[in-house]
Amino acid sequence: MRNSARLSVVVPVFNEQDSIAALVERIHQALSSAALRWELILVNDGSFDATHARAVEACAQYGSHVRVVDLYRNFGQTAALQAGIDHARGDLIATMDGDLQN
């Protein structure tokens, strides 16, 4: 039985078109059997490459628990994190980088 707690994973991304698919897949694999409900929020921080399109593709592939927040220009990591946190629905919030380095 799943716990009623909810986790929001917030990931700011900027020009990460080549990382989005692997990022979402790895997060989905890691959390798909978790004992709590979760969501992934990708915050597109004004990317000018195909980051937005790849993020939308990930939403279509993995479902409504993957969401995209689009910022109209690059505001920087701190502002992007805050935007994701503002959109989070979870009781718990985890943040991580979008480049698969951390």
| Cα dihedral 91, 11, 99, 59 in deg (nearest 10) | 110
Decide if 44 contacts 36 (C-beta within 8 A). no
- Written as tens digits, the pLDDT of the chain (102 aa) is 455 569 999 999 999 999 999 999 999 999 988 888 999 999 999 999 999 999 999 999 999 999 999 999 999 999 999 999 999 999 999 999 988 776
Instruction: Please tell me the predicted confidence (pLDDT) of residue 1.
Output: 42
Buried b / exposed e along 59-77 (16+ C-beta atoms within 10 A):
beeeeebbbbbebeeebeb
- Helices (H), ranges, 5-92: 20-31, 51-62, 77-87
Cα(83)–Cα(78) distance, integer angstroms: 9
